């Protein structure tokens, strides 16, 4: 599968890092935040990159796109993160062409998720792709790529047991609490941050820890109130955070900020607490974990605490991979047709030029042109173009020779 960009010297790559090689602290340094998209796009275009998008989640951060080399993408990406480029190179995963396409399809399917079968990733991919699409960095190839990724995700979810059972980071957090805490009904639980992970965690908490004292705090109170009303839990102002921490037994942090939102001085030295940090980059300063009276767990720790449903999910891997293989073949066939688009467009443009020139001459001689006849000639041009396209597709091995002949006959422009 040969994949060229709109510029002939560019190939399709994915560069990035994930939980497989980099721990949560390292991934946090290279997290890409949505507010950087616009500036990133402007800078990338100035550096010759036109078609690309970034996906950044708690488990992976990757850039997909066309570039002269993977190194160009690495340099471009690292300029907009907090991490050092040399450290990035130590952990980076690079795929090119067909392997890059297959990698995205596997990520979209949940096969590459830190918790096997976690389908939250496809929603994140769609959101991130839309952000870059609004900035004008997509093209026909990337659009088709994402649409196929969505199709793969849907089919695997509907036709396999890869997502069977409850095994997500949010569920693992609640599972950990249930397994490690005695007399949960007497504990004060504070959930700080109500983004998607926070909302999922709140739902699981309410469902599985009946009778517990749950309090929500979010920087924007209105969002917390919506969740609080839905699940009938307490909501406090962000200004009350320090006061609430004084009486918290279990703290769940899902703030998703670029800096620490829970620091040493916020927790009294004599305070005993279980802290679950679900954010990447880590939003709880890791030195808190060195205290004897604090048990700190991050997303990597949670991902190791999944339930036995993973065994069932593993049995679904071959079927999931067969679906990916099937749609990989369809994508490859579509891609082959794209190879001849410049030839076909050049041929059609020449026919339209001949038509427009003849009509101009008729009108110059004061001869009327029947609109029905004009419509007929347009249909004829499309039919002839379709015949040309079909011949190229059916005779791929001779496509270059065919186009060269048509160039001489019709004086076509270079494709």
**CATH code, 69:** 3.30.460.30
Q: What pLDDT, in 10s, does the model give residues 337-378?
A: 777 777 777 777 877 888 888 777 877 776 776 777 778 888
For the chain, give the percent of residues with pLDDT over 70: 92
Buried b (16+ CB within 10 A) or exposed e, 142-175: beebbebbbbbbebbbeebbbbebebbbbbbbbb
Asked whether residue 6 is domain-assigned, the answer is no
| Range name among 33-42, 225-234, 295-304, 389-398 with the lowest pLDDT average | 389-398
Question: Does residue 17 contact residue 60 with C-beta atoms inside 8 Å?
Answer: yes
- Whether 58 is a known active-site residue: answer yes
Domain extent for 255: 165-299
Q: Are residues 203 and 282 in the same domain?
A: yes
119 annotated as ligand-binding: yes
**Which of 125, 141, 163 is where one domain is finished?**
163
Mean pLDDT of 170-192: 85
Asked whether residue 390 is domain-assigned, the answer is yes
For the chain, give the percent of residues with pLDDT over 90: 55
Asked whether residue 371 is domain-assigned, the answer is yes
Q: Are residues 280 and 367 in the same domain?
A: no
Q: In this predicted structure, what is the pLDDT of residue 309?
A: 61
> Which residue, chain included where needed, has tokens 């030839």?
343
198 annotated as ligand-binding: yes
Cis, bond preceding 281 (omega within 30 deg of 0): yes
CA dihedral sign, ordered 20, 21, 23, 24: negative
Q: Kindly report whether the global pTM for this prediction surpasses the value 0.85.
A: no
Q: Choose, from 58, 72, 78, 202, the residue flagged as catalytic.
A: 58
307 annotated as ligand-binding: no
Total domains in the fold of the chain: 3
Question: Does residue 235 contact residue 224 with C-beta atoms inside 8 Å?
Answer: yes
107 annotated as ligand-binding: no
**Which of 280, 299, 318 is where one domain is finished?**
299
Q: Are residues 190 and 274 in the same domain?
A: yes
């Amino acid at each position: 599968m040969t994949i060229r960009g709109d510029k002939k010297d560019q190939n399709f790559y994915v560069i990035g890092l994930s939980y497989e090689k980099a721990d949560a602290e390292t991934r946090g340094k290279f997290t890409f935040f949505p507010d950087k998209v616009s500036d990133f796009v402007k800078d990338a275009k100035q550096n010759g990159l036109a078609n690309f998008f970034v996906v950044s989640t708690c488990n992976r951060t990757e850039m997909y796109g066309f570039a002269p080399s993977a190194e160009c993408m690495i340099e471009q990406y690292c300029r907009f993160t907090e991490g050092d480029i040399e450290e990035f190179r130590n952990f980076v995963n690079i795929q090119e062409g067909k392997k890059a396409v297959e990698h995205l399809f596997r990520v979209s399917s949940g096969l590459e998720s830190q918790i096997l079968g976690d389908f939250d990733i496809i929603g994140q991919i769609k959101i991130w792709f839309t952000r870059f699409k609004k900035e004008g960095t997509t093209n026909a190839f990337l659009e088709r790529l994402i649409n196929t990724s969505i199709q793969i995700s849907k089919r695997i979810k509907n036709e396999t047991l890869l997502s069977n059972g409850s095994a997500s980071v949010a569920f693992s957090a609640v599972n950990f609490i249930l397994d490690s805490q005695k007399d949960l009904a007497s504990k004060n639980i504070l959930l700080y941050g109500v983004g998607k992970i926070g909302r999922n965690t709140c739902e699981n908490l309410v469902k599985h820890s009946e009778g517990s004292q749950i309090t929500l705090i979010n920087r924007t109170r209105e969002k917390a109130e919506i969740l609080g009303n839905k699940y009938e839990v307490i909501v406090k102002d962000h200004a009350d955070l320090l006061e609430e921490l004084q009486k918290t037994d279990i703290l769940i942090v899902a703030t998703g900020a670029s800096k620490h939102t829970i620091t040493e001085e916020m927790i009294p030295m004599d305070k005993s607490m279980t802290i679950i940090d679900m954010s990447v980059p880590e939003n709880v300063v890791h030195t808190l974990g060195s205290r004897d009276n604090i048990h700190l767990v991050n997303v990597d720790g949670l991902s190791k605490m999944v339930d036995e449903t993973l065994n069932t999910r593993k049995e679904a891997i071959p079927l999931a991979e067969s679906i990916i293989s099937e749609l990989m073949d369809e994508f490859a066939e579509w891609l082959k047709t794209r190879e001849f688009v410049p030839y076909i467009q050049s041929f059609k443009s020449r026919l339209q030029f001949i038509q427009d020139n003849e009509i101009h001459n008729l009108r110059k001689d004061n001869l009327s042109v029947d609109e029905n006849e004009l419509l007929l000639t347009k249909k004829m041009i499309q039919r002839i173009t379709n015949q040309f396209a079909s011949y190229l597709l059916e005779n791929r091995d001779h496509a270059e020779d065919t186009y060269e002949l048509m160039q001489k006959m019709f004086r076509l422009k270079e494709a």
